[in-house]
């Protein structure tokens, strides 16, 4: 729900509630005032009649009008005076019963008792009330309508800078701090300034971290290179001594492994820092085919059956990452397929599935993509291959899953 919708809902509900309560109150007050006015004029009439009778000791001549009429009836005993009240009387002229305000009081003239009833029609009052209520309701409606449109326009304009900021954040990349405009509205201005400052800080930290990893990489690779080259040189001079040669080769292997491990960790860091963008059109089919071309003889030597079913697939990705992704998955497949087993590669526009025969049952689906996970007693590889694959998938917006069925490992990467 949009903030505006939420705000509007609350606003309109409150407005209607207030208007309804207000209208009821207004009606009651107005009604009270009008009735009081009627009552006052009834009492004025009473005083007039009483005054006349006291002065002249006879009944006055009464001129009735359409809205006020007085009845004087002789009575045996003095009637009990009552407060003004409303009764419904049939009005022959209008052919309907209408509310009438009535005041009954006794008088005594010429020694006889009379009951006087003063009637005043409330129709006028009712009509006035109706009119007033009609005006009030229309005002409420108009107010709400105008309120809605004004709010809609105004709020949309007011929020525009906010939406601009959101759009900028959505496109934010680590490499570049945000440069949001300073807005005259205080809140938005504060938000933009804070975001600018924050991304500036993030960027600085990021650059520092990046140069640290780069320098660390350089500083570590250089001694490794020295070891590596010295071993290679030693190998030439120690050629006659079998034990030395074996030890030197072991050192060389270890150096190589360490260097590779380090490069893999560096790659993972870069992937996590989103230093690659999947913004190239990559022909995945070509990547797979060229990899297979490169490793064909190796597949042959392990007597691995290969089934390839690839559609032409070109998708937005990163060339280098595509090569690493395919390489890591297929290298694993070759490494863990027992001699005489088979590897199946299926590529469609929706997904890439790599299936290979398993030697030792299912892999641990919980830990599979964790760093330094190695299946069973395996000592080969860095244990980072699948972690890298997963990070690459994450970066490209792919989804990777693993299934084990019918003694086969299956890795599925869904694009989209």
Positions touching another protein (CB under 8 A) are 214, 217-222, 224-230, 232-233, 235-236, 239, 242, 245-246, 249, 252-253, 255-256, 259-260, 263, 266, 294-295, 297-298, 301, 320, 323-324, 327, 331, 334-335, 380-381
Question: Between residues 126 and 252, which has the closer beta carbon with respect to another protein?
Answer: 252
116: which strand partners?
72, 105
Q: What does the angle CA 265 – CA 268 – CA 269 come to, to the nearest 5 degrees?
A: 90
Closest CB 245 distance from another protein, rounded Å = 5
Closest CB 288 distance from another protein, rounded Å = 14
Closest CB 14 distance from another protein, rounded Å = 59
Which two structure tokens, joined as six digits, stand for 253?
């292997």
Closest CB 265 distance from another protein, rounded Å = 12
Please report how many Cα atoms fall inside a 13 Å half-sphere around the Cα of residue 317, on the Cβ side. Answer: 22
Question: Between residues 283 and 319, which has the closer beta carbon with respect to another protein?
Answer: 319
Closest CB 263 distance from another protein, rounded Å = 6
Question: Between residues 89 and 229, which has the closer beta carbon with respect to another protein?
Answer: 229
Question: Between residues 143 and 256, which has the closer beta carbon with respect to another protein?
Answer: 256
Closest CB 221 distance from another protein, rounded Å = 4
Question: Between residues 74 and 338, which has the closer beta carbon with respect to another protein?
Answer: 338
Question: Between residues 213 and 342, which has the closer beta carbon with respect to another protein?
Answer: 213
Question: Between residues 194 and 233, which has the closer beta carbon with respect to another protein?
Answer: 233
Residues near 64 by Cβ (< 8 Å), separated by ≥ 6?
A: 70
Question: Between residues 235 and 268, which has the closer beta carbon with respect to another protein?
Answer: 235
Question: Between residues 220 and 292, which has the closer beta carbon with respect to another protein?
Answer: 220
Question: Between residues 144 and 292, which has the closer beta carbon with respect to another protein?
Answer: 292
Among 111, 126, 129, 103, which Cα is nearest to 41's? Answer: 103
Closest CB 1 distance from another protein, rounded Å = 45
Closest CB 295 distance from another protein, rounded Å = 8
Closest CB 327 distance from another protein, rounded Å = 5
Q: Give long-range contacts, CB 8 A cutoff, 24+ apart: 262-266.
A: 262/217, 262/220, 262/221, 262/224, 263/217, 264/382, 264/384, 264/385, 264/388, 265/384, 266/213, 266/217
Q: What does the angle CA 60 – CA 66 – CA 67 come to, to the nearest 5 degrees?
A: 85
Closest CB 13 distance from another protein, rounded Å = 58
Closest CB 11 distance from another protein, rounded Å = 54
CA atoms 158, 163, 166, 167: torsion sign = negative
CA atoms 41, 44, 48, 50: torsion sign = positive
Rounded Cα–Cα distance for residues 339 and 306 (Å): 12
Question: Between residues 167 and 254, which has the closer beta carbon with respect to another protein?
Answer: 254
Among 135, 36, 46, which Cα is nearest to 82's? Answer: 46
């Amino acid at each position: 729900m949009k903030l505006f919708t939420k705000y509007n809902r609350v606003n309109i509900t409150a407005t209607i509630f207030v208007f309804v309560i207000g209208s009821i109150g207004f009606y009651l007050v107005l009604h009270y005032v009008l009735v009081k006015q009627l009552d006052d004029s009834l009492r004025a009439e009473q005083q007039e009649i009483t005054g006349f009778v006291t002065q002249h000791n006879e009944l006055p001549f009464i001129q009735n009008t359409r809205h006020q009429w007085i009845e004087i009836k002789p009575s045996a005993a003095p009637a009990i005076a009552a407060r003004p009240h409303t009764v419904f009387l049939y009005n022959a002229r209008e052919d309907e019963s209408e509310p009438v305000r009535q005041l009954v009081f006794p008088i005594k003239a010429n020694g006889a008792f009379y009951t006087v009833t003063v009637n005043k029609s409330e129709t006028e009052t009712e009509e006035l009330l109706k009119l007033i209520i009609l005006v009030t309701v229309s005002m409420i409606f108009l107010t709400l309508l105008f309120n809605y449109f004004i709010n809609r326009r105004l709020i949309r304009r007011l929020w525009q800078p906010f939406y601009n900021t959101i759009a900028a954040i959505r496109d934010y990349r680590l490499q570049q701090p945000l440069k949001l405009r300073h807005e005259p509205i205080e809140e938005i201005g504060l938000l933009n300034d804070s975001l600018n400052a924050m991304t500036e800080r993030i960027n600085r930290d990021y650059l520092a971290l990046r140069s640290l990893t780069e320098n660390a990489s350089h500083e570590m690779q250089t001694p490794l290179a020295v070891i590596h080259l010295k071993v290679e040189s030693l190998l030439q001079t120690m050629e006659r001594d079998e034990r030395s040669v074996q030890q030197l080769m072991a050192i060389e292997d270890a150096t190589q492994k360490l260097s590779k491990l380090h490069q893999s960790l560096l790659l993972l860091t870069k992937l996590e820092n989103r230093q690659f963008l999947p913004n190239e059109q990559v022909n995945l089919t070509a990547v797979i085919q060229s990899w297979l071309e490169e490793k064909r003889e190796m597949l042959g030597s392990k007597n691995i059956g290969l089934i390839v079913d690839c559609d032409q697939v070109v998708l937005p990705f990163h060339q280098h990452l595509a090569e690493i992704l395919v390489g890591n998955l297929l290298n694993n497949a070759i490494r863990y397929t027992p001699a005489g087993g088979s590897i199946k590669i299926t590529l469609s526009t929706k997904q890439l599935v790599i299936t290979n025969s398993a030697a030792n049952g299912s892999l641990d689906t919980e830990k599979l993509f964790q760093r330094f996970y190695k299946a069973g007693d395996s000592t080969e590889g860095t244990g980072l291959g699948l972690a890298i694959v997963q990070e690459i998938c994450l970066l490209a917006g792919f989804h990777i899953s693993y299934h084990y069925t019918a003694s086969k490992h299956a890795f599925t990467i869904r694009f989209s």
